[in-house]
Amino acid sequence: MTLKHPYSEVDFNVTAAFCLGGFNIYDREESLGEYLDQFDPNDYEQLSILLDERLFESRMKNGYLPEHKKVIMNVLKEALIDEDYDFEAILQDDDDHYFCLPWDWIIENPRGFFEFVYLKMYEKWAELIVADGLTVTKPEEISSIANN
């Protein structure tokens, strides 16, 4: 049975870009955009606050099962393991897909940004995923895999 998006019949197929959805200001530049521009995405303390607020406590709160979270983490893990994965490309504005990050955001280390996102996902979701009988890769294992 194929995993579906919560409350729909649409297959749950995600990419590493899924993690950015809470930061998408497309058509909300003057509201959400101005708010997010107050934060520095390169400051992991500030990013942690935003991830809690825009990903864990809002976007992922309703209907997402441990299986969904496992899939998201696996997709991000595979991207992080791939030394040639172009994280910078998924940070680019894309009018065709109605996506743009806050105007003032310049993410200096795209791979480091997503490594931090994975770390926070692990901290928030690993226990739940494991309790559901699934496995999850520790963040430090990803770094060692990518470095080999």
pLDDT of residue 148: 44
Q: How many domains does the chain have?
A: 1
Contact 54, 22 (CB under 8 A): yes
Q: What is the pLDDT of residues 42-97, one digit of tens each?
A: 999 999 999 999 889 876 677 889 999 999 999 999 999 999 999 999 888 665 56
Residue 63 belongs to a domain: yes
143 band by pLDDT with thresholds 50, 70 and 90: confident
With a threshold of 0.85, does the pTM exceed it? yes
Please check whether residue 133 lies inside any domain of the structure.
yes
Task: Give domain status of residue 9, yes or no.
Answer: no
Residue 104 lies inside a defined structural domain of this protein: yes
Q: How far apart, in whole angstroms, are the C-alpha atoms of residue 115 and residue 109?
A: 10
10 domain-assigned: no
Residue 134 lies in domain: 16-146
Whether 11 is in a domain gets the answer no
**Helical segments of 82-138, H only:** 87-90, 110-131
* Two structure tokens written together for 24: 């998408």
Q: What is the mean pLDDT of residues 112-129?
A: 96
- Answer whether residue 2 is part of any domain: no
Residue at 29 is within a domain: yes
The full DSSP string for 54-94 is IIIIIITTSS--HHHHHHHHHHHHHHHH-TT--HHHHTS-B
